[in-house]
Amino acid sequence: MLLSLGARCRSGHLIGRCSIASKCVLSATEHEPPPFDFEAIDQLVRSKPATPAKAIDINREEKSLFYWLLREANATVYAATALSKYTKQIAPSDTEVQGPNKPEGEWLCDRIADRLQYYKLDNRIIILQRALAAYHHSRQHQWHRLAKTALRSCLINDEVPNANHLVKICASLSKWRLTRITEIQTKLDLCILAESQWNLYSASHILWSLAHLKRFDMRSFDYMNNIVSMTLAEPAFDVAALSDDTMHRIVNANLIRLSHTGSHHRIMKDVLLTLSLNPSAISYLTPKTLLAVTSLLPLHPEATVASHLIRRISQSIHKFTHTQMAHVLYNFAIIRPNLAPAMIDDIVGMLFEFKETLYKSNAVYLPSLSCKLLFTFWAFLDGCDHKFISKCLSDLNTNLHLLVPYSLVGSLQCLEVYRDRNGSYCDEKQALSIANTWNNLVRVNDRGEFVKPSQCDLEEPVENLKLWHIAALHRITNRGYNEMLSQLNSFMDRVDQDMIMPALKDIIMFLYNVSTNRALCGDRMLLNSLLIVVSQLWNVLGNPNKYDEYWDHIQYNLAAMDLMEVFERECNNTLPCVGSSKSSYRISSIKLCIDATKGKAVDDALLACLHHAATAESCDYVELDSLIARYIMFICIFHETTLGKMLEDASSCSLRNVLTESFYEGFYEPMFNTAVNKGLDETLLEYLNKSLRVQISPPNLGMAYTTAFFLQDHMKPLLQTLPTIAMGELCSQKRYDISLWDLVMCFDSNGPIKLVDYLETVNEAKPEKNRPLQQIASHLYRPVLNVKRARTNFNVGPYMCHIGLFGDDESQGVYVFITDGYSKNARDMAAHVFDRQRRLTLKNMGLQFVELGIDI
């Protein structure tokens, strides 16, 4: 037809005498449009090479029905996406169709479902994809029914699905959020496991899809991880094959799994190892993948790839969005103890650059990211940047209606640390801003539930608070007791075999937040409920030795709450031995020190813990290990255990005086002579010398709690941080603003301590308002003390003594310790285990002391 048309044009039959040659040029004054150059069109058509068919491979008999379905599905999607703002109803519902006949759409879906067996697997997958898309946008039942039928037909048929088929199936399910696949989950799992032709690209897609479907319990998830891990470990592996998108899918899928289940695969470490061996690959990663890789660092903080990542990020900081950069800096803040000084300097430089760009923008962060930034700046700058703190507080107050458990607890943790560390350096405006933000965050309704600030009278509770979230809020704000007790009583109702790891994390973090609360140590209702929950959890575990590291932390907290003996006696449980991890030996050492003060024979167990620390390969957390070693020596010596006597015999000078007067100082001269065998081997004595040689800082309890909170998704570093909390509570360094005149109210004028004359002599100013103090315990064996000198906030051994009153002789002294948390009838309450331990140790040291309770 085209050729004949061209011939007719050339003969003038169509345009007559006015026929124009193909190469004729019209002048600007001629208004007739030029005709088509049919010769050129003919030449173009003849010269175009034949193209392969791209249409769907389907039988002619089925083509009409198949394409009808595609048009119907596409029309449904288009109506929902493009026309939804013009029409209130996308498609007529089934109830509007009268008569015995089915609606056209339903009839079509049923017809396709009946003929699925005649389609090839590729076409069945297309039907699955379009049915899922149509159901996602319309929520019409016939599309859902067709999607489920097509899904079964894809997996259960004569044609075995290959890797590409399975990738398409899983991608369709995850893209259109069809999460209810329990019916075919096992078959899908078997199909993935049976296929052997996997590569990095296809395996990454399967991981990505399963992660978004939240099918972390499928064996194919670990199977895909194993395939990726083996591929990375091959000697001939080319890192160029690991593209940016592939790595992003692999890493993010495992991070999602970690966040939901608490478990992780070795592939995370393998990815970091691959990048450390091939640092050039880091230069090709995009910001989104760099963010994902830095999120792996808390799991393996010892990885050498951190320096390469920091260098790459510092060179391309302008490519990151504000949110991406904030998360990257937060990931480095979590592993700050493992970073070299040069790396910290680079990160601080990035912080200042990030801060300046943030000031120039109008970005306002969500509460969860605001609290992460607060933690990041305190980790690297010690919270000294008041301008940036004000920016974070402003963002926080702007979006209080978006509070979730993470942002509520995290913000209060950060504010508590900032208030304790920098309260004296804040001006009046900054202090008022912190106080107002605190009051905005801490809101409870009539039922004692934490609520979000609201403009209306109806306040919305903060939803999805976990048990340990409420315990942390109670520790910080002293509110939420009823809600905490209610959640504790119903805790086991939410625990099954698939939720063991989240339940263990929940109960461990709960215990750390309540075990040192003085007001709760005599609460029989809470203690009984706790015993029941722990016993039930023990029975659910099945094989407790599998979770020995977690159980070591539970045992410590039970001992801290004086429940260990009751648990062993009433529940008749045989507890597992100490776990093999460093975290287990650290927390077990602290628990054994508690047992030693009760007169139990724990010398062999303590010696085993010290041997493990002495022979450990890694040298992480040197200060914490040194602190625990000194505390073991301190307890054993002053409680005169067998191990304590062996240590004193092996020491070259008075170990008692050294640990009493300079517990946290460093001793450069060897304390123990390794050549003299006093029942302790040379390796152990050398380790103890090394522990005493290091000058250590007392644990910062507030930062320890805050760091543990932000490590909640990384169990390994979280468990390594928890012993710091334990030592921080045992050796609390909390200070109190107490006037010496406040003590006069507690000491009777006719009592053994004469303080008024000293205060009048030194012209001590009386405070406008006295703080009420209550004497809880005392140990005074000298008749009268005429005070000549006073000291405040100094260490006696590992303990913080808040006030020291001394007479003419240095040996004539009374040490005043202040404790908060006890109620008004504190003298009638059972003392906390830590307080009883301190009192007994001070008595063995031959010191006079008075313990006062303060209501804060």
Question: CA 75, 81, 85 angle in degrees (round to 5)?
Answer: 115
pLDDT for residue 204 is more than 50: yes
User: C-alpha distances in angstroms, 86 versus 91, 135, 433?
Assistant: 13, 20, 47
Q: What is the per-residue pLDDT for 574?
A: 58
Contact 274/310 with Cβ under 8 angstroms?
no
790 bridge partner residues = 805
Section 206-235 average pLDDT:
93
Report the alpha-carbon distance of residue 678 to residue 675 in Å, rounded.
9
Classify residue 451 by its DSSP letter: B
672 bridge partner residues = 651
Q: What is the per-residue pLDDT for 14?
A: 38
| Sheet with strand 799-806: strands edge to edge | 773-779, 848-854, 813-820, 799-806, 789-796
pLDDT for residue 441 is more than 70: yes
**Band of pLDDT at residue 7, cut at 50, 70 and 90:** very low
Specify the length of the chain in residues: 856
Report the alpha-carbon distance of residue 174 to residue 166 in Å, rounded.
12
Q: What is the per-residue pLDDT for 761?
A: 84
Contact 855/820 with Cβ under 8 angstroms?
yes
CA-nearest of 651, 581, 644, 640 to 616 is 581
Q: Which residue has the higher pLDDT, 329 or 182?
A: 329
Per-domain boundaries in the chain? 2-47, 59-88+102-159, 578-732, 740-854
**Band of pLDDT at residue 36, cut at 50, 70 and 90:** low
pTM, 2 dp = 0.83
Q: What is the per-residue pLDDT for 52?
A: 57
pLDDT for residue 169 is more than 90: yes
**Band of pLDDT at residue 621, cut at 50, 70 and 90:** low
User: C-alpha distances in angstroms, 800 versus 276, 476, 661?
Assistant: 44, 21, 12
The DSSP code sequence of 299-315 is GSTT-THHHHHHHHHHH
Q: How many CA atoms are closer than 13 Å to the CA of 523, on its beta-carbon side?
A: 20
Q: Which residue has the higher pLDDT, 798 or 582?
A: 798
Q: What is the per-residue pLDDT for 344?
A: 94
The number of angstroms, rounded, from the C-alpha of 828 to the middle of its chain's C-alpha atoms is 40
| H-type alpha helices, 262-364 | 267-277, 287-294, 305-315, 322-334, 341-359
Contact 845/638 with Cβ under 8 angstroms?
yes
Where residue 109 falls (left for φ over 0; alpha for ψ -120 to 50; beta otherwise) is alpha
Q: What is the per-residue pLDDT for 736?
A: 85
Count Cβ atoms below 10 Å from residue 81 Cβ, excluding itself. 11
Report the alpha-carbon distance of residue 434 to residue 343 in Å, rounded.
31
Contact 383/421 with Cβ under 8 angstroms?
yes
Q: Which two tokens stand for residue 38?
A: 């049919």
* 612-621, 669-678, 707-716: least confidently modelled range: 612-621
pLDDT for residue 421 is more than 90: no
Q: What is the per-residue pLDDT for 797?
A: 94
pLDDT for residue 11 is more than 60: no
User: Per-residue pLDDT tens for 722-743?
Assistant: 999 999 999 989 888 888 888 8
Strands 773-779 and 789-796: unpaired
**Band of pLDDT at residue 578, cut at 50, 70 and 90:** low
Q: What is the per-residue pLDDT for 46?
A: 72
Q: What is the per-residue pLDDT for 93?
A: 46
Section 196-209 average pLDDT:
94
% the chain with pLDDT above 70: 86
Q: How many CA atoms are closer than 13 Å to the CA of 493, on its beta-carbon side?
A: 6
1 bridge partner residues = none
Report the alpha-carbon distance of residue 499 to residue 614 in Å, rounded.
36
**Band of pLDDT at residue 128, cut at 50, 70 and 90:** very high
pLDDT for residue 18 is more than 70: no
- Return the amino acid letter for 755: L
Report the alpha-carbon distance of residue 310 to residue 793 in Å, rounded.
40
**Band of pLDDT at residue 22, cut at 50, 70 and 90:** very low
Report the alpha-carbon distance of residue 579 to residue 585 in Å, rounded.
7
Q: Which residue has the higher pLDDT, 263 or 406?
A: 406
Q: Which residue has the higher pLDDT, 352 or 105?
A: 352
Report the alpha-carbon distance of residue 782 to residue 641 in Å, rounded.
28
**Band of pLDDT at residue 469, cut at 50, 70 and 90:** very high
Q: What is the per-residue pLDDT for 99?
A: 39
Q: What is the per-residue pLDDT for 10?
A: 41
Count Cβ atoms below 10 Å from residue 385 Cβ, excluding itself. 17
User: Taking all residues of the chain, what is their mean pLDDT, rounded to a whole number?
Assistant: 84
pLDDT for residue 26 is more than 50: no
